[in-house]
């Protein structure tokens, strides 16, 4: 590097005699303007604020999504209950139809028997009339041609009164009884038909409500996904803005460091020039400075839990699962169908409980609301492995899981998922456990 000319005239001839400093300052780096740095920081702060706003919106959207998922689960469990009730109503209706058919058959048989007795009596009456007598009348004895004829007529009348007429009376009573039974059976059949129609209507209503709730959940999920995408893009822009600010600040720092180094160099050269001017033989060529050195620089509960855990990874299938294991899911006309549950073999939440407790001979209905009432209800503070946990929204149970200890549970969560072990969720958890063991 060439040495600058000294500003003092007396040192002009000594310029090449001044020894170079022990370091050399490179050319100055570009210096960003204060306005550039200020604008960059403002842009960074604006994007940081936008990220915060979007993060808050995303948190709200995800909270709403959790609430809507709970609502969907409630509706799906309503559909489960409606399906169980519909199956029960169909069974009752089938039995009522069978009872009505049997009652009608008995009534018809009674009527046929009565008709036969009537015919026998009619035949006797006709014969008696031809003989000049009337059944049950004393005139039947008049006109007898001989004592033997009189005795025959008396015997015949006694037989009729003691047998056929009594039988006719019994048959009449039996027919009335059978008619009453037939009437009761038909009334039961009508009631069962009404209950079945109500159950079918409830199932359709539950399916519609489930579909509406799932559509709302999908819409909310779409909104959350959009917010997440916007946030990711804004975070990327924020990172770029931070890098820009950091780059400008680093560039400014390097420039300031260069300024300080240049100032030190100028001071060293001035000192060296002043010292050289005071030494004799200033025209002598100084020796080259030495190069600088680089810087140094058990029991029933265990059986139940084991059976549930043995199904980890099995797909969720709405309506799936029985005492023997996973089964094909069923159509619900909404959420489960959109995930293809009817084509999967797996469990829903209550189906997994059915399978788990079947290992110790306990039979459960395929509806979490009924399962919650299947045993003793104890406070959460008494939670023990093998207890069932339930979640509710608006006081209505919509999900069940099996507590396995150490704050963990096994569950079949929702359509699109699989049987899993997870930590107990306390949001929406009802304040009791149901113990069957």
Can you tell me the distance from the alpha carbon of 70 to that of 358, in angstroms, rounded to the nearest whole number?
A: 27
CA 168, CA 164: separation in Å to the nearest integer? 6
> Following DSSP, what letter does each residue of 154-178 receive, concatenated?
HHHHHHIIIIIHHHHHHHHHHHHHH
Q: In whole angstroms, what is the distance from residue 235 CA to residue 247 CA?
A: 18
Strands 408-411, 345-346: pairing is unpaired
Query: How many secondary structure helices (H) and strands (E) does the chain include?
Result: 7, 8
Q: How many CB atoms lie within 10 A of CB 292?
A: 10
Q: How far apart are CA 145 and CA 232, in angstroms?
A: 124
The DSSP bridge pattern shows strands 432-435 and 420-423 to be unpaired
What are the CA-CA distances from residue 395 to residues 35, 263, 346, 369, 392 (Å)? 60, 78, 28, 11, 6
Strands, E assignment, 262-368: 327-328, 345-346
DSSP structural state of residue 399: E
Q: What is the CA radius of gyration of the chain?
A: 50
**Residues facing residue 144 across a β-bridge:** none
The three-point CA angle 371-376-378 to 5° equals: 110
**Whether 409 contacts 389, CB under 8 Å:** yes
Let me know: does 369 contact 77? Beta carbons within 8 Å.
Answer: yes
Helix (H, G, I), strand (E, B) or coil at 304: helix
- Triad 371, 377, 379: Cα angle to 5°: 130
Report d(CA 436, CA 376) in Å as an integer. 7
Q: Which of 265, 349, 366, 398 is catalytic?
A: 349
Helix (H) or strand (E) holding 381: none
Instruction: Write down the catalytic residue from 73, 106, 398, 399.
Output: 399
Has 399 been annotated as catalytic? Answer: yes
Total number of residues shown for the chain: 437
CA 3 to chain centre: 80
From the candidates 77, 106, 265, 411, give the one annotated as an active-site residue: 411
Q: Which residues are catalytic?
A: 349, 399, 411
């Amino acid at each position: 590097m060439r040495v600058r000319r000294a500003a003092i005239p007396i040192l002009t001839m000594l310029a090449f005699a001044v020894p170079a400093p022990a370091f050399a300052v490179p050319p100055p780096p570009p210096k960003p303007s204060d306005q550039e740095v200020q604008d960059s920081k403002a842009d960074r702060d604006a994007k940081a604020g936008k990220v915060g706003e979007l993060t808050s919106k995303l948190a709200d959207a995800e909270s709403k999504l959790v609430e809507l998922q709970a609502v969907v689960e409630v509706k799906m469990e309503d559909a489960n209950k409606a399906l169980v009730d519909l199956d029960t109503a169909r069974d009752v209706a089938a039995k009522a139809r069978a009872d009505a058919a049997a009652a009608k058959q008995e009534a018809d048989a009674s009527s046929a028997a009565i008709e036969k007795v009537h015919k026998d009596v009619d035949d006797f009456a006709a014969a008696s009339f031809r003989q000049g007598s009337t059944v049950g009348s004393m005139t039947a004895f008049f006109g007898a041609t001989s004592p033997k004829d009189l005795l025959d007529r008396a015997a015949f009348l006694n037989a009729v009164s003691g047998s056929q007429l009594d039988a006719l009376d019994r048959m009449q009573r039996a027919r009335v009884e059978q008619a009453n039974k037939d009437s009761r059976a038909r009334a039961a059949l009508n009631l069962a038909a009404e209950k079945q129609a109500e159950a079918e209507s409830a199932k359709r209503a539950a399916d519609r409500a489930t579909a509406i709730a799932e559509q709302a959940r999908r819409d909310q999920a779409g909104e959350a996904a959009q917010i997440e995408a916007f946030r990711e893009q804004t975070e990327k822009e924020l990172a770029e803005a931070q890098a820009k600010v950091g780059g400008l600040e680093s560039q400014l720092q390097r420039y300031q460091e260069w300024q300080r180094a240049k100032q030190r160099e100028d001071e060293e050269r001035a000192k060296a020039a002043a010292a050289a001017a005071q030494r004799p033989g200033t025209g002598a060529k100084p020796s080259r400075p030495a190069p600088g050195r680089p810087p140094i620089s058990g029991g029933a509960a265990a059986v139940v839990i084991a059976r549930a855990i043995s199904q980890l990874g099995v797909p969720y299938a709405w309506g799936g699962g029985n005492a023997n294991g996973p089964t094909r899911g069923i159509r619900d006309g909404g959420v489960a169908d959109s995930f293809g549950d009817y084509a999967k073999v797996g469990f829903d939440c209550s189906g997994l409980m059915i399978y788990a407790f079947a290992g110790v001979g306990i039979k459960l209905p395929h509806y979490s609301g009924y399962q919650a009432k299947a045993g003793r209800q104890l406070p959460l503070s008494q939670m023990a492995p093998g207890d069932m946990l339930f979640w509710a929204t608006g006081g209505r149970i919509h999900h069940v899981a099996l507590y396995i200890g150490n704050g963990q549970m096994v569950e079949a969560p929702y359509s699109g998922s699989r049987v899993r072990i997870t930590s107990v969720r306390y949001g929406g958890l009802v304040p009791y456990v149901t113990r069957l063991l």
